């Protein structure tokens, strides 16, 4: 059986506008009333996020002093995953087409996300995504889960998924961060990094995924091409032995 495990934010949802709105809010809340700051463009801000520039440094580059930048970073952490800002998320271009292609191909599809259940349920309801992910194929955080670091929390989700899901002979993870790659590699799962999310190519390359592609659609095409190749190789080997 072929299984695809997909991250949610990045491959399926474009979260760039949410992050930018939170950046603007936190900058405005943190600056002094008489203080002049430099609000970055969305493109500049997102490029810094994708190259993993720390929040504190983003604050300082925007004109905050060091103490303010610390407060800016803390406020951002408290705010970025709150429900009022989830309205700024949008479907990643081509994501639904890719999910439909997976479904039509009869592939076992799993979503694995650092969202809490209520955050995932909100997006599912808003964008009619429940049709792709039965409840027993959804791996997310509980609403009361206390997050540590994604690189620690996501491997725990992968461990649980592998223990609970039916055995599959061919499993691929698709994600946009180092947490996705680490979770997959820790459990012997092949992994593809996508460039439509919150990490750029240089950051993904550091963690050596099996492939790096532009988006979920390209990742699905890549995965679906692999079993055919493997089967042909097996057939060729059998023919040679005759």
pTM above 0.85, yes or no: yes
For residue 231, what is the enclosing H or E element?
helix 216-241
pLDDT band at 228 (very low <50, low <70, confident <90, very high): low
**CA gap 3, 174 in Å, rounded:** 11
- CATH fold, domain 2-14+91-241, is Rossmann fold (3.40.50)
pLDDT score of 235 more than 60: no
Query: What is the structure's pLDDT at 146?
Result: 85
How high does pLDDT run on average in the chain? 93
pLDDT score of 242 more than 60: no
**Tens digits of residue pLDDT in 157-215:** 999 999 999 999 899 999 999 999 999 999 999 999 999 999 999 999 999 999 999 99
**Tens digits of residue pLDDT in 106-132:** 999 999 999 999 999 999 999 999 999
Strands 108-116 and 2-6 turn out to be: parallel
**CA gap 76, 69 in Å, rounded:** 10
**CA gap 148, 133 in Å, rounded:** 26
Residue 20 near residue 42 (C-beta atoms within 8 A)? yes
102-115 burial by CB neighbour count: b if 16+ within 10 A, else e?
A: beeeebbbbbbbbb
């Amino acid at each position: 059986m072929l299984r695809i495990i997909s991250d949610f934010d990045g491959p399926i949802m474009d979260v760039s506008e949410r992050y930018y709105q939170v950046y603007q809010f936190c900058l405005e809340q943190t600056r002094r009333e008489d203080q002049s700051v430099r609000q970055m463009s969305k493109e500049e801000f997102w490029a810094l996020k994708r190259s993993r520039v720390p929040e504190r440094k983003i604050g300082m580059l925007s004109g905050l002093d060091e103490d303010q930048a610390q407060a800016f970073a803390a406020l951002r952490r408290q705010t970025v995953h709150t429900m009022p800002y989830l309205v700024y998320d949008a479907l990643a271009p081509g994501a639904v087409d890719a999910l439909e292609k997976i479904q039509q191909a009869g592939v076992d599809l799993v979503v694995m996300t650092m969202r809490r259940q209520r955050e995932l349920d909100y997006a599912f309801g808003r964008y009619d995504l429940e049709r792709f992910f039965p409840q027993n194929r959804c791996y997310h955080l509980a609403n009361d889960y206390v997050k540590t670091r994604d690189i620690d929390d996501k491997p725990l989700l992968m461990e649980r998924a592998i223990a609970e899901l039916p055995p599959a002979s061919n499993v691929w993870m698709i994600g946009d961060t180092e947490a996705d790659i680490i979770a997959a590699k820790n459990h012997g799962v092949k992994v593809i990094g996508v460039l439509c999310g919150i990490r750029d190519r240089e950051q993904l390359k550091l963690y050596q995924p099996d492939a790096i592609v532009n988006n979920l659609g390209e990742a699905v095409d890549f995965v679906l091409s692999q079993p055919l190749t493997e089967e042909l190789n097996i057939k060729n080997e059998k023919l040679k032995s005759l």
